[in-house]
Amino acid sequence: MLEEVLIRHSAPTLAGLKTANLFWYSWESREEFENSLTFWKGIFQEKGLDITIMRTTDQRALLYVNRRKKLEEDLSREKTRGMLKAKGYHYSDAKEAIRILQNKLQTCEKFPHEIGLFLGYPEDDVEGFIKNQGKNCKCCGCWKVYCNECDAQKMFHKFKKCEVVYEKLFLKGRPVQQLIVAA
């Protein structure tokens, strides 16, 4: 069920701690998946979130869950705009930037590592990852850290705690809709 996967892979975003999450979702019935996705799009829209299919294969979809306002803020920072422009992103708003990323995910052979900017990762860490080709990081958690290790470790701990709490609440019967912090 999609709600189970949302809890497992997007708790920090649902809680308002993180800009976005990206994860694969496998389905048995494409029609059931599309109905479920339509339902969640409605719920998310009411709460200031969005869910987008970034890529599909035969029986799975790469889903991108984000907090619209936070993503808009992240993508309008000067350094982020410059980094994305250097990677071929010319956009006026977050929706347009997402469409460019979506196109890259569907058509490029190489994974677009600037995706970290769409997930709320620190610009310096995304830059460090690209420059070092994923090697030589100070530590690793939700992302590879190249700059402020102490702050990153605190965030990783916060995200993990959120995931544990959300999973416990969900397993005790709390509906996902009640766990989403409105923007």
Residue 52 carries which side chain, given as an amino acid letter? T
Q: How many helices (H) and strands (E) does the chain have?
A: 8, 5
DSSP category for residue 180: P
Instruction: Give the pLDDT of the chain (183 residues) as one tens digit per residue.
Output: 899 999 999 999 999 999 999 999 999 999 999 999 999 999 999 999 999 999 999 999 999 999 999 999 999 999 999 999 999 999 999 999 999 999 999 998 889 999 999 999 999 999 999 999 999 999 999 999 999 999 999 999 999 999 999 999 999 999 999 999 998
pLDDT of residue 183: 83
Region class of 82: left (phi > 0), else alpha (psi between -120 and 50), else beta: alpha
pTM for this entry: 0.95
pLDDT of residue 102: 97
pLDDT of residue 137: 97
